[in-house]
């Protein structure tokens, strides 16, 4: 707001000093409250055994150590399936799920937004409604469908159902709606460009923030969820299940494990933060 | 079904479709739609792969659940049609279902609006900061919801022995002599779960609010100031909220879905079932009948109730929100 105030031609907005102060104080308090648990996690992950048994625990660490991480990795080596296999599975599942989502989602978003075939409004309305129900509701019958398809305990079950997720598609469709003009597409059509050509060479380069967002959100959810619940072979499970089983040894190793699991989606988000926020700008629900 | 293609579009495209020129007025509705479909067949090809997945994994399950909810089904024998028996049993014979329903509503009514309001108010505060500070503060609030397992840190804070943070302090200050086992104590389970749920709830909806507030045009505020808007509150009510309406609707959908789907946090923190079923929700009840008792018909009926709760809450909130600023 300061910027606005000092702009030479701008009207001075109604901002009271008291209001600014209240907002700053509230943000500081809430920000600290939100961040303290994360901070405690980081601190605990680097605490040596001696400091972890102090009561009450400190919110700082006197002699930081990597011992917890070393313990974690030692335990990892003792798992029945080698840790490299879990990491490999995580990569395979995340990449395949994200790639499929991106291809199917962007094609669908373009078609719904710009080709406007008879029925596109109805299809989009159903997709919008699907945002309103959680996976709990569809869980039971999904199970029967997986059984019928013979997908239980395979890679497929961790990958293909993700392709049907709608949040990324929804965001991309809204982003295309508000960032690519119909006139431009119409002009390209008159010049004789095919729909696929328009999709690939005109629309996709214009909506880079949207596909980055789709990649990041899909990747995050797959990373956090790991393999499907209907996978029981240890060889098909992912890093997060493995890390959960070996982290039970101590609060230190447990914190180290959570920290490791957290750091990947956080880094991915930080790199893409500005693009993601840009995409969310057009997420509004139009009636 | 509706079609939005404008009349001009048809005129432009008619030579290509090999049809003799006919204006929209001369056509029957069916004829018009057929021409449109022919013109836009690529569109159908493009949505087909996704649509197939979407039908198989989202639409079909909802429809099948509704059908199955009128049957008794254990996967060994064919489903037997029993009409409303599952629903009658649910409301009259199943005390635990009533508990689950009450808890689900209780969690939804507390965490839903609270997280929704929090995500807007925080975004509104953050919007006043300079871009760099804004990015950092946004990240601090968003971080807990990025990682699926971050909330397990609350297990350390409320650990049930003397090494837990809260117990350690209570002990030191002489308030307790024995550690409180928070996650098994019926007094504390629900409040702790609500706090944790709120802590992890500033997700996509929060980011959408931040982006939406950035997108409100500056000149609207300047014009408002000239027109006599006196303070932040008036600005919020007369300019910001009406401009943000669509984003608010989107955030509401996500908040409601999250609030009614509540359950995973309880499992990880308090175990399943939680002590005396104090945090037993419809999600738990459903997985109990599905995973342990194999009564798929009954479980489907629970899913259907949850489905209509979510849809009902959504249409209610959408109606309320459409009144904002008008």
Are A144 and B64 in contact (CB < 8 Å)?
A: yes
Is A234 a domain residue? Answer: yes
Of A46-60, B26-40, B87-101, which one has max mean pLDDT? B87-101
Strand (E) or helix (H) holding B80: strand B80-81
CB atoms within 10 A of CB A76: 20
Q: Kindly state whether residues A107 and A153 are assigned to the same domain.
A: yes
* CB-CB neighbors (< 8 A) of A210 in chain B: none
Structure tokens at B7: 């009349």
Average pLDDT of chain A to the nearest whole number: 86
Mean pLDDT of B205-212: 91
Q: By percentage, how much of chain A surpasses pLDDT 90? A: 36
Within a domain: A73:
no
Provide the b/e sequence for A80-117 (b: ≥16 CB within 10 Å). eeebebbeebbeebbebbbebbbebbbbbbbbbbbbbb
Residues 6+ apart with CB under 8 A from A100: A159, A160, A162, A163
If asked whether residues A35 and A112 sit together in one domain, one would say no
Number of domains in chain A: 2
Which of B153, B222, B253 lies closest to A10 in CB terms?
B222
For residues A222 and A90, give the distance between their C-alpha atoms in angstroms, rounded to a whole number: 9
Alpha carbons A269 and B94: distance in angstroms, whole number: 45
How many angstroms separate the CA atoms of A131 and A135, rounded?
10
A25-45: average pLDDT: 91
What is the DSSP secondary structure assignment for residue B28, as one 8-state letter?
-
- Report the distance separating Cα B132 and Cα B135, nearest Å: 5
In angstroms, what separates the C-alpha of B250 from chain A's closest C-alpha?
6
Same domain, A199 and A59: no
CATH classification of the domain holding A220:
1.10.3720.10
Residue A225 lies in a domain: yes
A76 in a structural domain: no
CA gyration radius, chain B: 26
The residues that bridge with B81 in the sheet, in sequence order, are: B71
Span B219-238, mean pLDDT? 85
Q: Where in chain B is the domain with CATH 1.10.3720.10?
A: 94-321
Please state, rounded to an integer, the average pLDDT across all residues of chain B: 86
Residues A253 and A111 in one domain: yes
CA distance, residue B28 to nearest chain A CA (Å): 15
Whether residue B16 is predicted with pLDDT greater than 70 in this model: the reply is: no
Tell me whether residue A91 is in a domain.
Answer: yes
Residues with Cβ within 8 Å of B53's Cβ and at least 6 positions away in sequence, in order, are A104, A160, A161, A163, A164
Among the candidates A11, A40, A65, a domain finishes at: A65
**A34, B125 contact by CB (below 8 A):** no
Q: What percent of chain B has pLDDT over 90?
A: 40
Among candidates A16, A196, A251 on the partner chain, residue whose Cβ is nearest the Cβ of B156: A251
A156 and A270 fall within a common domain: yes
Contact B212 A281 (CB under 8 A): yes
The conformational region for residue A251 under phi > 0 = left, psi -120 to 50 = alpha, else beta, is alpha
Q: What is the rounded CA–CA span in Å between residue A19 and residue A37?
A: 28
> Do residues A204 and A230 share a domain?
yes
How far, in Å, CA of B281 to CA of B189, rounded?
A: 13
Size of interface A-B (CB pairs under 8 A): 319
Residue A287 lies in a domain: no
Minimal-distance CA residue of chain A relative to B312? A132
Are A30 and A165 in a shared domain? no
Q: Which chain B residue has the Cα nearest residue A2?
A: B130
| Residue A39 maps to a domain | yes
* pLDDT number for residue B4: 53
| Same-domain pairing of A60 and A157 | no
B interface test, pick of A45, A51, A137, A176 with most B CB neighbours within 10 Å: A137
CB A70 within 8 Å of CB A93: no
- Judge contact between B213 and B240, C-beta under 8 A: yes
Given this structure, which CATH class describes domain B94-321? mainly alpha
| Helix ranges restricted to H, chain A | 2-6, 17-45, 49-52, 67-77, 83-110, 120-130, 135-149, 156-159, 167-179, 182-190, 195-197, 204-206, 208-225, 239-246, 251-280
Question: At residue B20, does pLDDT exceed 70?
Answer: no
The verdict on A99 and A56 lying in the same domain is no
**pLDDT tens digit string along A152-176?**
999 999 999 999 999 989 999 999 9
Whether residue B156 and residue A40 make contact (CB cut-off 8 A), yes or no, is: yes
Distance CA B33, CA A265 (A): 46
Domain assignment present for A74: no
Nearest CA in chain A to B223: A11
Per DSSP, the three-state class of A194 is: coil
Cβ(B32)–Cβ(B38) under 8 Å?
no
pLDDT classification of B311: cutoffs 50, 70, 90: very high
Q: Residue B201 pLDDT > 80, yes or no?
A: yes
In a mutational test of the B interface, the residue from A45, A117, A192 whose CB has the highest number of chain B CBs within 10 Å is: A117
Q: Which domain holds residue A38?
A: 2-65
HSE-up (13 A, CA, CB side) for residue B194 = 17
Partners of B72 in the β-ladder: B80
CA dist., res. B109 & res. A96, Å (int): 38
Question: Would you call B290 and A217 a contact, using CB atoms and an 8 Å cutoff?
Answer: no
Partner B contacted by A241 (CB < 8 A)? no
Cα of B92 to nearest chain A Cα, Å: 22
Stretch A10-17: mean pLDDT, rounded? 66
Q: Looking at the structure, do residues A46 and A146 belong to the same domain, yes or no?
A: no
Answer whether B172 sits within 8 Å of A35, measured CB to CB.
no
Q: Are B210 and B136 in contact (CB under 8 A)?
A: no
d(CA B39, CA A228): 41
Q: Among all residues of chain B, which has the CA nearest to that of A137?
A: B303
Average pLDDT of the residues in B81-107: 92
pLDDT digits (tens, 9 = 90+) for A77-121: 777 778 788 888 988 999 999 999 999 999 999 999 999 899 999
- Find which of B11, B54, B68 to mutate to test the A interface (most A CBs within 10 Å of its CB): B54
Considering the domain architecture, whether residues A47 and A18 belong to the same structural domain is answered as yes
Q: Do A137 and B61 touch (CB under 8 A)?
A: yes
Entry pTM: 0.86
Task: Mark whether A172 and A239 lie in a shared domain.
Answer: yes
Q: Which chain B residues contact residue A55 at CB under 8 A?
A: 162-163, 167-168, 171-172
Instruction: Give the model's confidence band at A238: pLDDT under 50 very low, under 70 low, under 90 confident, else very high.
Output: confident
Q: Are A218 and A65 in contact (CB under 8 A)?
A: no
Containing B215, the helix (H) or strand (E) segment is helix B204-215
**What is the predicted pLDDT for the residue at A105?**
93
pLDDT of residue A93: 93
Judged by a CB distance cut-off of 8 A, whether residue B225 touches chain A is: yes
């Amino acid at each position: 707001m300061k910027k606005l105030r000092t702009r030479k031609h701008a009207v001075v907005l109604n901002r009271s000093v008291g209001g600014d102060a209240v907002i700053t104080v509230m943000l500081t308090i809430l920000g600290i409250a939100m961040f303290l648990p994360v901070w405690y996690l980081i601190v605990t992950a680097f605490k040596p055994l001696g400091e972890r048994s102090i009561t009450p625990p400190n919110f700082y660490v006197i002699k930081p150590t990597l011992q917890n991480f070393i313990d974690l990795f030692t335990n990892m080596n003792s798992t029945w399936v080698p840790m490299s296999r879990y990491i490999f599975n995580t990569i395979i599942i995340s990449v395949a799920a994200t790639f499929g989502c991106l291809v199917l989602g962007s094609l669908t978003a373009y078609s719904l937004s710009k080709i406007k075939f008879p029925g596109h409004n109805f299809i989009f309305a159903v997709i919008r409604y699907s945002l309103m129900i959680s996976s709990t509701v569809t869980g039971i019958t999904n199970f029967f469908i997986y059984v019928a398809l013979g997908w239980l305990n395979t890679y497929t079950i961790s990958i293909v159902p993700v392709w049907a997720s709608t949040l990324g598609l929804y965001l991309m469709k809204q982003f295309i709606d508000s960032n690519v003009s119909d006139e431009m597409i119409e002009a390209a059509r008159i010049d004789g460009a095919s729909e696929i050509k328009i999709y690939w060479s005109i629309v996709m380069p214009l909506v880079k923030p949207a596909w980055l967002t789709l990649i990041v959100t899909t990747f995050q959810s797959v990373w956090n969820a790991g393999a499907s619940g209907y996978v029981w072979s240890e060889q098909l499970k992912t890093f997060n299940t493995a890390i959960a089983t070996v982290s039970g040894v101590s609060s230190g190793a447990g914190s180290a494990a959570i920290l490791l699991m957290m750091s990947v989606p956080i880094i991915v988000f930080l790199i893409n933060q500005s693009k993601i926020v840009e995409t969310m700008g057009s997420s509004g629900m139009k009636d | 079904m509706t079609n939005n293609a404008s009349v001009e579009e048809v005129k432009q495209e008619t030579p290509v479709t090999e049809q003799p020129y006919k204006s929209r007025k001369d056509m029957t509705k069916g004829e018009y739609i057929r021409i449109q479909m022919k013109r836009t067949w690529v569109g159908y090809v493009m949505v087909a792969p996704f649509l197939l997945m979407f039908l198989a994994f989202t639409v079909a399950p909802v429809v099948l659940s509704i059908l199955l909810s009128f049957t008794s089904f254990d996967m060994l024998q064919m489903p037997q049609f029993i009409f409303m028996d599952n629903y009658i049993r649910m409301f009259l014979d199943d005390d635990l279902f009533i508990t689950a329903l009450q808890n689900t509503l209780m969690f939804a009514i507390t965490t839903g609006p609270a997280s929704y309001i929090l995500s807007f108010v925080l975004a509104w505060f953050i919007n006043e900061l300079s871009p760099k500070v804004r990015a950092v503060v946004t990240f601090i609030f968003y971080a807990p919801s990025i990682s699926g397992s971050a909330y397990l840190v609350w297990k350390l804070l409320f650990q049930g022995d003397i090494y837990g943070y809260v117990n350690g302090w209570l002990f030191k200050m002489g308030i307790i002599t024995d550690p409180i086992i928070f996650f098994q104590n019926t007094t504390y389970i629900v409040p702790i779960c609500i706090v944790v749920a709120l802590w992890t709830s500033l997700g996509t909806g929060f980011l959408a609010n931040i982006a939406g507030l950035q997108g409100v045009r500056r000149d609207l505020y300047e014009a408002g100031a000239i027109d006599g808007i006196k303070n932040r509150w008036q600005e919020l009510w007369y300019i910001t909220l009406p401009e943000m309406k669509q984003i608010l609707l989107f955030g509401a959908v996500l908040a409601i879905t999250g609030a009614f789907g509540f359950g995973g946090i309880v499992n990880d923190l308090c175990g399943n079932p939680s002590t005396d079923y104090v945090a037993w929700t419809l999600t738990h009840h459903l997985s109990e009948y599905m995973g342990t008792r194999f009564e798929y018909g009954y479980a489907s009926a629970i899913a259907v109730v949850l489905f209509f709760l979510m849809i009902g809450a959504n249409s209610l909130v959408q109606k309320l929100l459409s009144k904002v600023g008008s």
